[in-house]
Amino acid sequence: MLRRMREEESHSLSSSSSSFSSSTPTFSLFSLTILRVLSALTSIGFAITLIVTIETDGSPFYWSLLEAKWMKTTLVDFYCVLAPLCALAAWRERSNPLFSFLTVLYFCCLGTSAVHSYLWLVFYRLKPGDPITKLLA
């Protein structure tokens, strides 16, 4: 009797664990395509904005601008937002320390366009049917 209860319990546990893994949402080809296109377009958009700004106004980093309180606040805000993204990218690329370092350097130097191009790379590496949890792995 006790063995039968154990067998039933292990069977119910194995069936519930298989139903849990099958209930994990996955990426479809359509959703991956949408994510790839959106991340590529935003990356290109931010890069074009940066290039046009530098061409029309010159470098955005000159001393009188850096002395303004709003610019200091903007830079602190940007790098506070960028810090967790750098940590996530470094953790995702932990198998290749050089690429991890270069990714963080890329983020810090080129900002938003670099982050969006990295997102494109992450979405490009995913295959249809991959679980959504693979974004963090």
Does a structural domain hold residue 97?
A: yes
Number of domains in the chain: 1
Mean pLDDT of the chain: 82
pLDDT in tens, 53-96: 889 887 777 778 778 888 889 889 999 999 999 999 999 999 99
Q: What pLDDT does residue 8 have?
A: 56
Does a structural domain hold residue 7?
A: no
pLDDT in tens, 38-56: 989 998 998 898 889 889 8
Whether the full predicted model's pTM is greater than 0.75, yes or no, is no
Tell me how far apart the alpha carbons of residues 108 and 90 are, in angstroms, rounded to a whole number.
13
Tell me how far apart the alpha carbons of residues 103 and 88 are, in angstroms, rounded to a whole number.
11
Closest by Cα among 111, 122, 61, 121 to 86 = 111
* Beta carbons within 8 Å of 126's beta carbon, 6+ residues apart: 27, 32, 134, 135
Q: Answer whether residue 135 shows pLDDT above 90.
A: no
Does a structural domain hold residue 15?
A: no
Does a structural domain hold residue 105?
A: yes
Does a structural domain hold residue 125?
A: yes
Q: What pLDDT does residue 110 have?
A: 85
Closest by Cα among 128, 125, 82 to 104 = 82
Does a structural domain hold residue 71?
A: yes
Structural domain containing residue 43: 28-135
Does a structural domain hold residue 16?
A: no
Structure tokens, 134: 């693979």
Cα end-to-end distance, the chain, whole Å: 43
Mean pLDDT of 6-27: 58
Mean pLDDT of 123-135: 87
CA 77-82-84 angle, 5° bins: 115
**DSSP label at residue 24:** S
Other C-beta atoms lying within 10 Å of the C-beta of residue 79: 13
Does a structural domain hold residue 73?
A: yes
Mean pLDDT of 15-23: 51
Is residue 112 within 8 Å of residue 45, measured between CB atoms? no
Q: What pairs with residue 26 in β-bridges?
A: 131
